[in-house]
Structure 1
Amino acid sequence: KIDYITFVPDGEPTLDINLGKELSLIKTLGIKVAIISNSSLIDNPDVQNELMGFDLVSLKVDAVSNDIFKKINRPFKGIELDNILQGIRDFSSSFKGILITETMIIDNIDYGDEFEKIGEFLASLNNLEKAYISIPTRPPQEDWVRPPKEETVNEAFQIFETKLPKKVEYLIGYEGNAFSYSGNLEEDVLSITAVHPMREDALMELVEKDKGSFEVIEKLIRNGLIKKIQYQGQNYYLRKQKPPAPFY
């Protein structure tokens, strides 16, 4: 049974100008539809209107203080935290589906009383179903980013829980190896690693499912399409980034 067809970002899904049309087409299947957004465009009325048609919307709330927001999220010029927070408030007041939030916590950040502030903000939202606390579980873009200490995660949970009783949960574990496969190992690996890194045990399981050979993986590495890195004691395989185009 399918729970949801989910728009998962390879980038930010609300940037898609055809999002509303795609949603309408998928809805004809009679299956619930979800979307995971980083909230960067939630203050846009057109984006809000399109999100209203989803059955479940996940919005990112990593910070409510501008200095922490900029350090963690490094927003594009023109994206303002105050506008995002107000957009989330406005959206939550009208959305009739399931609304959840995700707050990513990382190490080397002086959170101070930020957990209190985030908890208060989340508690002010209408119809918030669940507030998730997450940590980096796959290799991040920046080397300095590390999962926080257990004490920090527990502190965030306890503070959130006082503001949102029985609505706070962790997203701190490895998501597992249940990846789909088509029978074309090379295409499957490139498709999955285009969205997020694959842990080595997950990759080996996919190789077995696809009845392929690890030589395919080694070929992708030799051809510069994927690369192998280590993070938190685990080997990961991820798509190799293309160099930026020259600017003239």
Structure 2
Amino acid sequence: MSSRIIYGPILSRRLGRSLGIDIIKKSDFRKNCNFDCVYCQLGHVDWKISTPSEATDLVTTEEVIDSLANYHKKVDDLDYITFSGTCEPTLNLELGNMIEQIRNISNVPICVITNSSLVNREDVRNNLSKADLVVATLVSGNEDTFQAINRPAEGIELQDIIKGLKQLQKMKGPKVAIEIMLLDSNNGYLTNSSDPEIDKQIEVLKFIDPDEIEILTISRPPAEDFIIPVTETRLKEIAQKFDEELGRERVRLVLKGLKRKRSNIEHENLTDEVYDLILRRPCTFDQVVQSLDIDNEELSPTIEGLVDDQKIIGISSENGTYYRAV
């Protein structure tokens, strides 16, 4: 099944109602990334791309603009247009031009969600600087923890990322939010929610000085089954420490359970839309209903058909059954 460049809208804990753009085409690989994170909701990376020069089958600026201009849904309350999906968007060096061209046809704020891997590159920072919001991942201030959690391609080092994020923040272009995905494990695997880890994260965040710090834990089934969520009690303890050290006005604790009034969306091919959404963001049945503004009775046969055709599978978790693309 082919997938479109544009997908969603997604109802996000962080961004509200967001229309996604995936700028590396799904070719032979389910994911196009230079990380193989233990917590990734999309599963493992088959082949880690080291640099933009290794990325193939890239979406062009013209394809993005054409897809947005001809997108058949009418969504009347978007909060963001977001570059994310099955790829690390900064691997496509057309990103900055895409953002500039989108502004000619839309007034919706533009966000880029990045794993921060390439922010040491000036061309990547220039591209990111054109967005309204950059949500950049930083799981640890320690190299060994970073390597254990993100499992990056060879040559990607934490100190380069930290220095690149500092340079991005100094550009005073987009609002820069640092996302800290806090993890625990059930087998002693190295994770980032201990007191020493939190102290180091605070030290690094003081150096970067971002506009916002987002603290959250996993809510979807991760790539590794030994990775588990941090408890809500522990999250709140950590958030309190961040408040004290970094300022309550910029620390945001992101918890599950977002609810929002549904939009008016016109559907052309519901099966494709559901698949496109689940391909980029594993969802429960109810999350698909909320994001795409459809009724339970309308969605049930679509989900059943995709499962029967082995396009998606159900994965059980403590938060319910999530559907993930095969």
Q: Which TM-score applies when normalising by structure 2?
A: 0.67
- Tell me whether 212-221 or 228-237 shows the greater mean CA deviation: 212-221
1:74 aligns with 2:159: no
Structure 2 counterpart of 1:13, from 62, 86, 89:
89
Instruction: Tell which has more relative contact order, 1 or 2 (C-alpha 8 A, sep 6+).
Output: 2
Cα gap change, 1:210/1:27 in structure 2, threshold over 3 Å: closer, same or farther?
A: farther
Q: Post-superposition shift, 1:210?
A: 9.1
The residue identity in structure 1 corresponding to 2:166 is R
The answer (yes or no) to whether the contact 2:114–2:137 under 8 Å persists in 1 is: yes
One of 194, 199, 207 as aligned partner of 1:124: 207
Write out per-residue CA displacement over residues 185-207 of structure 1, whole angstroms, 9 at most, x where no aligned residue: 21111110111111122345658
How far has the Cα of 1:143 moved from its partner?
0.9
Q: One-letter code of the match for 2:217?
A: I
Give me the whole-angstrom Cα distance separating, in 1, the residues matched to 2:78 and 2:303: 30
2:274 corresponds to which residue? 189
Which aligned runs of 4 or more in structure 1 are off by greater than 3 angstroms? 174-181, 203-213
Q: Supply the distance in 2 between the matched residues of 1:209 and 1:18 (Cα, whole angstroms).
A: 38
1:155 Cα shift? 2.9
Instruction: Give the counterpart letter for 1:224 in structure 2.
Output: Q
Q: Kindly provide the CA deviation profile for residues 3-59 of structure 1, in whole angstroms up to 9, marking residues without a partner as x.
A: 332212322111113212211110113522211111011111110111111111111
Secondary structure at the residue paired with 1:124?
Answer: helix
Report the residue type matching 1:125 in the other structure: I
Give the TM-score normalised by structure 1: 0.87
Partner of 2:132: 55
Aligned length: 239
Query: Which of 198, 210, 221 is the matching residue for 1:115?
Result: 198
* Displacement of 1:64: 0.8
Structure 1 residue 152: deviation in Å?
2.6
Q: Equivalents in 2 of 1:153, 1:189: separation in Å?
A: 32
1:175/1:14 Cα in 2 relative to 1: closer, same or farther (>3 Å)?
farther
Change beyond 3 A, Cα 1:207–1:36: closer
Compute the displacement of 1:77 (Å).
1.2
Residue matched to 2:304? 218
1:1-248 equivalences in 2 (<5 Å)? 1-31=77-107, 32-108=109-185, 109=191, 111-126=194-209, 128-166=210-248, 167-176=250-259, 182-203=267-288, 208-209=294-295, 212=298, 214-240=300-326
Q: 1:67 to 1:187 in 2, by over 3 A?
A: same
Residues 210 and 187 (structure 1 numbering): CA distance in 2 closer, same or farther, change over 3 Å?
Answer: farther
Please give the secondary structure, in 1, of the residue aligned with 2:298.
Answer: coil
Q: Is the 8 A contact 2:220 2:319 kept in 1?
A: no
1:185–1:212: 8 Å Cα contact kept in structure 2? no
Change (3 A) 1:189 1:213: closer
What is the alpha-carbon distance in structure 2 between the residues aligned to residue 145 and residue 75 of structure 1?
17
The one-letter code of the counterpart of 1:130 is E
Query: Which structure 1 residue ranges, 5 or more long, are not aligned?
Result: 241-248
Question: How far apart in 1 are the matches of 2:233 and 2:95?
Answer: 40
Amino acid at match of 2:272: E
| Separation in structure 2 between the aligned mates of residue 186 and residue 210 of structure 1, nearest angstrom | 14
Deviation at 1:233, TM superposition (A): 4.4
Conservation of the 8 A alpha-carbon contact between 1:100 and 1:131: yes
Residues in 2 aligned to 1:211 and 1:47: alpha-carbon distance in whole angstroms: 45
Could you tell me how far 1:63 is from its partner in structure 2? 0.4
Identity, % of aligned pairs? 29
- Give the superposed CA RMSD: 2.3
